[in-house]
Amino acid sequence: MEQTIHRAPGAEDRALAVRKLDEALRRGMGRATTVVERVMSTLPHDAIVRASAATFTASDTALTMHVGADNRWTFHPHAFGQVAEVCASKGTAYLAALREGEPWQRTMLANILTETLHHSTSRHLVRAVGGDGNGVREARGFLSDKYKRIDSRPVVEAFIQGARALGGEPYDASGMDTRHNIKFIRTDIREPAPGEYVAFGVEQSSGDFGGVAHQIRRFVVRLWCLNGATVEDLCRAVHLGSRLSDEIAFSDRTMQLDTAALVSATEDVVKASLAPANIDAECARIGAAAAKHVDVKRAFGPLAASLTKAELERAQEAFSGPDVVNLPEAPTVWRASNVLSLMAQRSDLAPERREDFERYAGALLKAAA
């Protein structure tokens, strides 16, 4: 365990912060490389499907959607959740249970989905990947025909180039089948309050299969413990556009234009995110939070509606507890913010909830300014 600081910080403390950041960069490089390679190697195969033309069949292991003789898809759990929502918005749990049940239950599920869609006039964008060599792809998105398609590869490339131009280095990344998050951090260390060493970075997250907007956010890391808070939402692009043509090839030009516009916005936002004036403003915000004392009952008041009862109790317990290594020592808004960003590191949290907690931590800092 690191030594607790109850004294004026000195050169050795800053040296320790430098080592902490170096260690994090060494760990993060591999994760970032893996996620970026995964994004760059994945380009969805798109098709517009009329609901009334879709037929589902079930086997002992899979649910397959057929449109005509040559178009077949199995379903990733994410895409199945979307088709279940279309067919029975209040019965998705029941449909999911049928999918995981006995063969006869999957057969019944296939009949339910087929009959429901046959009585619909809707059209859907099916985004799929891979293929088994027999013309069957895995659907990862079952989306509205107004879903704005983006090619994530040039967007990620623009983000990385912009972050590197500002002195950023790969810090962390996470990737799932349907979403990704990539973080770059500047290696210059700031001290917004005595003994509190931090570094600032920028992150990009998106998903090509619905449910995740393209987002760029600025974050701050407390280097004693590597707690990270999202301090600013800088860009949010929702995947909603004009209705797609039946012939998806007709829409490729639109996708290219939409992607180019998002690439341009990404370049501008990343450049502004780590500009010296903006970093100075964030340091002042942290300094204000580190000077603002608060009692445990009020520490998380602004987020009471966003936390479950158990999460709130856990946060209050940590705020009142003895930990002065992973958390700032004084009972301030800065300590409360770090409680939430520390909770974000729990291994049992889903990536989406981890991002929530990092944003909650940043919200407390913003409210303190």
Residue 1 resides in a domain: no
Q: Are residues 125 and 237 in the same domain?
A: no
Please, which pLDDT band fits residue 5 given cuts at 50, 70 and 90?
A: very low
Q: What tokens does 300 get?
A: 């998380």
What integer is the mean pLDDT of 255-277? Answer: 90
Backbone angles phi, psi at 267, to 5 degrees: -60, -45
Q: Are residues 164 and 295 in the same domain?
A: yes
Residue 124 resides in a domain: yes
Q: What tokens does 94 get?
A: 């029941």
Residue 184 resides in a domain: yes
Quick: pLDDT tens for 135-171: 789 999 999 998 988 889 999 999 999 999 999 999 9
Q: How many domains does the chain divide into? A: 2
Cβ burial 244-255 (10 Å sphere, 16+ → b, else e): beeebeebeeeb
Q: Are residues 210 and 319 in the same domain?
A: yes
Q: Are residues 111 and 217 in the same domain?
A: no
Residue 4 resides in a domain: no
- Nearest residue to 364 (alpha-carbon basis) of 224, 191, 231: 231
Quick: pLDDT tens for 48-98: 999 999 999 998 888 999 998 889 999 999 999 999 999 998 889 999 999
- Nearest residue to 235 (alpha-carbon basis) of 253, 210, 261: 261
Q: Are residues 122 and 208 in the same domain?
A: no
pLDDT at 4: 41
Backbone angles phi, psi at 150, to 5 degrees: -130, 140
DSSP states along 131-191:
--SSSEEEEEEEEETT-----HHHHHHHHHHHHHHTTEEEEEEEE-SS-EEEEEEE---EE
What integer is the mean pLDDT of 298-316? Answer: 93
Q: Is the pLDDT of residue 244 over 70?
A: no
- Nearest residue to 271 (alpha-carbon basis) of 162, 182, 158, 188: 162
pTM, 2 dp? 0.86
Q: Are residues 176 and 60 in the same domain?
A: no
Q: Which of 92-101, 104-113, 208-217, 331-340 has the least mean pLDDT?
A: 208-217
Q: Is the pLDDT of residue 1 over 90?
A: no
Q: Which of the listed residues 119, 144, 169 is the one where a domain comes to its end? A: 144
What integer is the mean pLDDT of 300-304? Answer: 89
Q: Are residues 134 and 173 in the same domain?
A: no
Residue 3 resides in a domain: no
Q: Which of the listed residues 110, 144, 178 is the one where a domain comes to its end? A: 144
Q: Are residues 180 and 68 in the same domain?
A: no
Q: Are residues 98 and 117 in the same domain?
A: yes
Residue 346 resides in a domain: yes
Q: Is the pLDDT of residue 212 over 90?
A: no
What integer is the mean pLDDT of 344-348? Answer: 89
Quick: pLDDT tens for 24-48: 999 989 999 999 999 999 889 999 9
What integer is the mean pLDDT of 235-243? Answer: 74
Rounded distance between C-alpha atoms, residue 335 and residue 67, angstroms = 56
Residue 68 to residues 72, 73, 115, 158, 343, Cα–Cα distance (Å): 8, 12, 16, 39, 49
What integer is the mean pLDDT of 284-305? Answer: 93
Residues of the chain with pLDDT > 70: what percent?
93
Residue 197 resides in a domain: yes
Quick: pLDDT tens for 215-235: 999 999 999 888 889 888 888
What integer is the mean pLDDT of 187-213? Answer: 92
SS3 214: strand
Instruction: Tell how many helices (H) and how many strands (E) occur in the chain.
Output: 11, 12
Please, which pLDDT band fits residue 6 given cuts at 50, 70 and 90?
A: very low
DSSP states along 112-131:
HHHHHHHT---EEEEEEE--
Say which residue, 76 or 134, is predicted with more confidence: 76
Q: At 117, which CATH number?
A: 2.40.50
In DSSP terms, 124 is beta-bridged to 49, 144
Q: Are residues 168 and 311 in the same domain?
A: yes
Q: Are residues 90 and 164 in the same domain?
A: no
What integer is the mean pLDDT of 361-367? Answer: 90
pLDDT at 3: 38
Q: What tokens does 117 get?
A: 């869609």
Q: Which residue has the tokens 């107004």?
A: 146
Domain that holds residue 54: 45-144
Residue 2 resides in a domain: no
Q: What tokens does 54 get?
A: 């879709």
Q: Are residues 128 and 156 in the same domain?
A: no
List CB contacts of 268: < 8 A, sequence separation 6 or more: none
Q: Which of the listed residues 144, 164, 197 is the one where a domain comes to its end? A: 144
